[in-house]
Amino acid sequence: MPTKKTAIGKVRNIGIIAHIDAGKTTTTEGILYRTGLKHKIGAVHEGETTTDWMAQERERGITIVSAAVTCYWKDHQINIIDTPGHIDFTVEVERSLRVLDGAVVVFDGKMGVESQSETVWRQADKYGVPRVCFINKINQTGGDFYKSLDTIHARLSKHAFPIHLPIGFEQSVNGVVDLINMKAYTYKEFTDHELTEGEIPADMLDKAKKYRSLLIENAVAEDESMLEKYLEGGEDGMSIDDVKHAVRYATLTGKFFPVTGGDGRGVIVEKVLDLVTELLPSPEDRGSTWGLHPKSGDETERKPNETEPFAGLAFKIATDPFVGKLAYFRAYSGKLKSGSYILNSSTGEKERVGRIVRMQADKREDVDEIGAGDIAAIVGLKGTTTGNTLCEQNNPIVLESITFPEPPVSIAIEPKTKADQEKMSLALQRLAEEDPTFRIRVDEETGQTIISGMGELHLEILVDRMKREFKVEANIGQPQVAYRETIRKDGVEVQGKFIRQSGGRGQYGDVWLRLSQNEAGKGFEFINSIKGGVIPSEYIPAVRKGIEEAMSNGVIAGYPVVDIKTELYDGSYHEVDSSEMAFSIAGSMALQEGVKKAQPTLLEPIMKVVVVTPENFMGDVIGDLNSKRGRVESMEDLTQGIKEITAFVPLGEMFGYTTNLRSTTQGRASSSMELDHYADVPAHVAEAIIAKKGK
Query: pLDDT tens digits, residue range 510-535?
Result: 999 999 999 888 889 999 999 888 99
pLDDT at residue 109, as a whole number? 87
Residue 26 CB partners (closer than 8 Å, separation 6+): 41, 43, 44, 49, 136, 264, 265
Q: What is the mean pLDDT of residues 486-514?
A: 89
| Cα distance between residue 113 and residue 354, in whole Å | 44
Q: What is the mean pLDDT of residues 262-270?
A: 82
| Cα distance between residue 625 and residue 645, in whole Å | 10
**Residue-wise DSSP of 252-292:** HTTS-EEEEEE-TTSTTHHHHHHHHHHHSPPHHHH--EEEE
pLDDT at residue 360, as a whole number? 62
Residue 86: pLDDT above 60?
A: no
Per-residue model confidence as pLDDT tens digits over 189-206:
877 778 888 999 999 999
Per-residue model confidence as pLDDT tens digits over 606-631:
988 888 888 889 999 999 999 999 99
Mean pLDDT is lowest, of 86-95, 287-296, 594-603, for 86-95
Indicate the SS3 state at residue 639.
strand
pLDDT at residue 92, as a whole number? 60
Give the architecture-level CATH label for domain 603-694. 2-Layer Sandwich (3.30)
Residue 45: pLDDT above 50?
A: no
Domain parsing of the chain, residue ranges: 8-285, 289-399, 409-466, 489-598, 603-694
Q: What is the mean pLDDT of residues 637-661?
A: 84
pLDDT at residue 164, as a whole number? 93
Under CATH, what is the fold of the domain 289-399?
Elongation Factor Tu (Ef-tu); domain 3 (2.40.30)
Residue 413 CB partners (closer than 8 Å, separation 6+): 424, 428, 448, 449, 450, 451, 463, 474, 475, 476, 477
Residue 66: pLDDT above 50?
A: no
What mean pLDDT, rounded, does the chain reach? 83
Q: What is the mean pLDDT of residues 312-329?
A: 79
Radius of gyration of the chain (CA): 28
The b/e string for 435-455 (b: 16+ C-beta within 10 A; e otherwise) is bbbbbeeeeeeeeebbbbbbb
φ, ψ dihedrals at 82, nearest 5°: -90, 115
| Cα distance between residue 169 and residue 175, in whole Å | 10
| Cα distance between residue 164 and residue 98, in whole Å | 29
pLDDT at residue 49, as a whole number? 40
Q: Write the class of the CATH domain 409-466.
A: alpha beta
Element holding 92 (H helix, E strand): helix 90-99
Give the architecture-level CATH label for domain 489-598. 2-Layer Sandwich (3.30)
Residue 464 CB partners (closer than 8 Å, separation 6+): 56
Residue 113: pLDDT above 60?
A: yes
State how far the alpha carbon of 492 is from the alpha carbons of 512, 519, 552, in Å. Answer: 10, 17, 20
* Fold agreement between 409-466 and 603-694: yes
Element holding 205 (H helix, E strand): helix 205-220
- pLDDT band, residue 62 (cuts 50/70/90): very low
| Residue type for position 666 | Q
CB of 272 closer than 8 Å to CB of 132: yes
Beta bridge partners of 33: none
Residue 458 CB partners (closer than 8 Å, separation 6+): 88, 89, 407, 409, 437, 438
Residue 3: pLDDT above 90?
A: no
Residue 695: pLDDT above 60?
A: no
CA angle 673, 676, 679 (to 5 degrees): 120
Q: What share of the chain in percent tops pLDDT 70? A: 89
pLDDT at residue 443, as a whole number? 75
| Residue type for position 275 | L
Residue 669: pLDDT above 60?
A: yes
Under CATH, what is the fold of the domain 8-285?
Rossmann fold (3.40.50)
pLDDT at residue 27, as a whole number? 79
pLDDT at residue 53, as a whole number? 36
Nearest to 118 by CA among 608, 652, 606, 687: 608
Element holding 495 (H helix, E strand): strand 492-500
pLDDT at residue 84, as a whole number? 54
- pLDDT band, residue 38 (cuts 50/70/90): very low
Residue 1: pLDDT above 70?
A: no
Q: What is the mean pLDDT of residues 277-306?
A: 88
* Residues making up the chain, counted from first to last: 695
Question: Which has the higher per-residue pLDDT, 428 or 234?
Answer: 428
- pLDDT band, residue 656 (cuts 50/70/90): confident
- pLDDT band, residue 299 (cuts 50/70/90): confident
| Residue type for position 673 | M
